[in-house]
Structure 1
Amino acid sequence: GNSCNLLVPRDRDQVVKLCEAFVLFVELHLVSLEHHRNIVQESLFFPFGKSQQEHQWFPKSLALRLKSV
């Protein structure tokens, strides 16, 4: 027995849910932190808005998720 197993959920579905919740949590906070958008890489994000001044930076995965709804 390895004591490290106590720290890891044994149910694979539970691990997936935790990962998805964490990713969503990070994405939502990145969207809300507008003052950090100037350090965000364009390889992961893209401008989302009508004009140059109204651009908001959305994670691609979150934007694709919103489009698919």
Structure 2
Amino acid sequence: MIFKVYFQARINEVPVRENTKTIYLEGDSEQNIRTKLIDRGYNIEFIQPVTGAHLEYEKQNEDFKVLEI
């Protein structure tokens, strides 16, 4: 399953919408994604599963790239 992760680049950074970044990762569950990202020092705001029509929409975005971690 593919997940879209909304995050701030530093763990001590206060979440501000204008500074929020996103990445796409493949994993089994939200916990699996959090485990993969634990060493990156991200302040994770939200992890959203992306499936069906939502996934097709995201694939049209030029920034869509599923990271292999």
Q: TM-score, normalised to structure 2's length? A: 0.27
- The higher-RCO structure (CA 8 Å, 6+ apart) is 2
* Higher helix content, 1 or 2: 1
* Greater C-alpha radius of gyration: 1
Q: TM-score, normalised to structure 1's length? A: 0.27
* Higher strand content, 1 or 2: 2
